[in-house]
Amino acid sequence: MQLADFNFDLPPELIAHHPPAQRSGSRLLCMDRQSGAVQHHRFTELPDLLQPNDLLVFNNTRVIPARLFGLKPSGGKLEVLLERVMTDNKVLAQVRGSKSLKDGSGIFLPDSDGTAVNARVEGREGEFLILQFPPTLDLMALLDRIGHMPLPPYIKRADELADRERYQTVYAEKAGAVAAPTAGLHFDQALLAAMKAKGIETATVTLHVGAGTFQPVRVQNLAEHRMHAEYLEVSESVCSAVRECRTRGGRVVAVGTTTVRCLETASHNGELLPFAGDTRIFIYPGYRFRSVDALITNFHLPESTLLMLVSAFSSRENILAAYAEAVRQKYRFFSYGDAMLLA
């Protein structure tokens, strides 16, 4: 398939730059993944659209305040976007204005107490710099003090204090993502309680979403595309929950494309097994799903790997027709936008 097969027209005014007033206040476009038939709902109606035997699988990653502003030794300004926190206080990062930075160069990050933290360039890994922070530094505490929430590039505003809460799921637990698993942003505690009251089971996986999720596909032939690496964990308890769901006749409902990538990576040999490590799985039409029966997801960018994944779950024609209907009905698109249920 070709990249141009996944283009569509989106009026810019439909891009959501702020979250809705209430998390669960979004609209929900429900689509039959086989026929492509659609129905319009509210996200608060989700418990009525699921069944007591179903299993909801969430991604419990926590977004870190991964955008930092610093200075070169020359005094020039830099913007640092962390991609991944590694061991020993090393990070992979995209650094704007970094062309003149060589191995051994320092990046000075002003701290809240008037001092500065020095991060040293230790090399490159593809498009990323490897930065070494002082070994005794509490890196996560530093990010909490001076970091900014890494809003997606299509949100044309500076991050606000409210984004610390709203660009984060209510069940976020394991810190490490630099982009939110946005399908989960629609869930609040009241909705989770309604799911539980109906007898809908839940399980959690972890995938630390990287900034690469926003990188464009740069090849025309999709078979030539190489995905960025992201770290994930699928535990034995999740595998057991999926098996039990299937035994009782329920559906495995993935909350978000990141959850899909977790479950499908962990079942790449045909059986869902515990997994911890990096994945580069690229799901596009023609892929055969092994562990996911239904999907809750947001509306995705044209020509993005996320749009290709949801197209694989139904069909390119069904998805593009549903997106055209969403545009007609003025749904809100992307991270802070409305949602779809594909079942």
Predicted confidence (pLDDT) per residue in 207-240, tens digit: 999 988 888 999 999 999 999 899 999 999 999 9
Q: Which residues contact residue 48 at a Cβ distance below 8 angstroms, ignoring those fewer than 6 apart?
A: none
Q: Which residues contact residue 140 at a Cβ distance below 8 angstroms, ignoring those fewer than 6 apart?
A: 64, 175
CA distance 180 to 48: 26
Q: What pLDDT score does 215 carry? A: 86
Angle, vertex CA 306, rays to CA 311 and CA 69, nearest 5: 170
137 and 173 belong to one structural domain: no
CA distance 265 to 275: 8
334: left (phi over 0), alpha (psi -120 to 50) or beta: left
234 and 87 belong to one structural domain: no
Nearest to 338 by CA among 11, 20, 7, 13: 20
Q: pLDDT tens for residues 94-127?
A: 998 867 688 999 999 999 888 999 999 999 998 8
> Does residue 151 form part of some domain?
no
30 and 115 belong to one structural domain: no
> Does residue 210 form part of some domain?
yes
Q: Which residue stretches of the chain have pLDDT < 70?
A: 98, 100
189 and 80 belong to one structural domain: no
Domain boundary among 146, 175, 191: 146
201's tokens: 């089971």
100 and 235 belong to one structural domain: no
> Which whole-number Å values give the CA distances from 102 to 3, 76, 105, 131, 244, in the listed order?
35, 15, 6, 11, 53
174 and 257 belong to one structural domain: yes
> Does residue 156 form part of some domain?
no
Residue 204 sits at φ, ψ, to 5 deg, of: -130, 135
Half-sphere exposure of 205 (CA within 13 A, CB side): 38
303's tokens: 């020509």
Angle, vertex CA 301, rays to CA 69 and CA 258, nearest 5: 80
> Does residue 154 form part of some domain?
no
Residue 194 sits at φ, ψ, to 5 deg, of: -65, -35
127 and 260 belong to one structural domain: no
Half-sphere exposure of 88 (CA within 13 A, CB side): 4
Q: What pLDDT score does 10 carry? A: 97
33's tokens: 């993944």
316 and 262 belong to one structural domain: yes
Domain CATH number, residue 39: 3.40.1780.10
One-letter amino acid of 47: P
210 and 103 belong to one structural domain: no
Q: What pLDDT score does 98 carry? A: 62
110 and 252 belong to one structural domain: no
Tokens 């709203």 belong to: 166
58 and 76 belong to one structural domain: no
Total tally of structural domains belonging to the chain:
2
Q: What pLDDT score does 127 carry? A: 83
**Number of other residues whose CB lies within 10 A of the CB of residue 4:** 9
Q: Which helix (H) or strand (E) holds 48?
A: helix 46-49
CA distance 19 to 170: 14
Alpha carbon 284 to its chain centroid, in Å, reads 17
Range of the domain at 101: 67-146
303 and 333 belong to one structural domain: yes
Q: Which residues contact residue 226 at a Cβ distance below 8 angstroms, ignoring those fewer than 6 apart?
A: 280, 282
